[in-house]
Amino acid sequence: MDIKKLQTLVVDALEDVKGQDIALFETTHLTSLFDRIAIVSGTSNRQTKALAASVRDKVKEAGGDIIGMEGEDTGEWVLVDLGDMIVHIMQAPIRAYYRLEEIWGDKPVKLGAAKRAPKKAAGDEPKKVSGHLAASKAKVEASPVIEKKTPAKKATAATAAKKAPAKKAAASKAVGKTVKVAPTKAETAAVKALKALPEKKVRAPRAAKPAADAAPAKTVIKRIKKVEA
């Protein structure tokens, strides 16, 4: 199996079981026994065993060979031998004690490079459509046009509201003032003519005549007694 495909399968299998601190190194310049070495941490014996089983199953499904597995009994340090690649699955205290990165970690391999997506086949590429044919052009859906109201009306309403009290104030000032109008020439001439006329004598009112049916007034004559000497 190709080493790049093998390292991609191993990294995927370790990530599926949530392996921690996955590290991948190239070892071709250090030994001729294998080309890659992978180191990963597990939080418990159960997780280290599950990580080893995940690597074994994925490589077998892809047609790879499993040379051997060691340390499954205790689960503290499980080694999976894949021929061209060795996988060390360790618990954190064991990994910190042995420090395999200092021995094999001269040339680290980036995980992004180890998991490059395979190239698409020629049949998977979408067919190119010529742009000069009207039938091949995609139809553009007409989007509704939303008319926005212009803020000019609001501005005029606001200015009219501001001008209204000014007009009221001007009207109130105009009501309080009295405007004198000069008399015409004809009016002044008529007034002078009236003043020039002599004053009329006022006659006393006549006494009312007694009515014919009214009874004649009685005259009372008082007798004066002579005083004897």
Please list the pLDDT of the chain residue by residue as tens digits (229 residues).
Answer: 899 999 999 999 999 999 999 999 999 999 999 999 999 999 999 999 999 999 999 999 999 999 999 999 999 999 999 999 999 999 999 999 999 999 999 899 987 755 554 444 444 444 444 444 444 455 555 556 565 555 555 545 555 555 555 455 444 444 455 556 666 777 777 777 777 766 555 455 565 555 555 555 555 555 555 555 4
Query: What 3-state DSSP class applies to 80?
Result: strand
CB 95 within 8 A of CB 38: no
Residue whose entry in the numeric block shows the structure tokens 């008399």 = 183
Half-sphere exposure of 31 (CA within 13 A, CB side): 15
- Give the C-alpha separation, 91 to 72, whole Å: 13
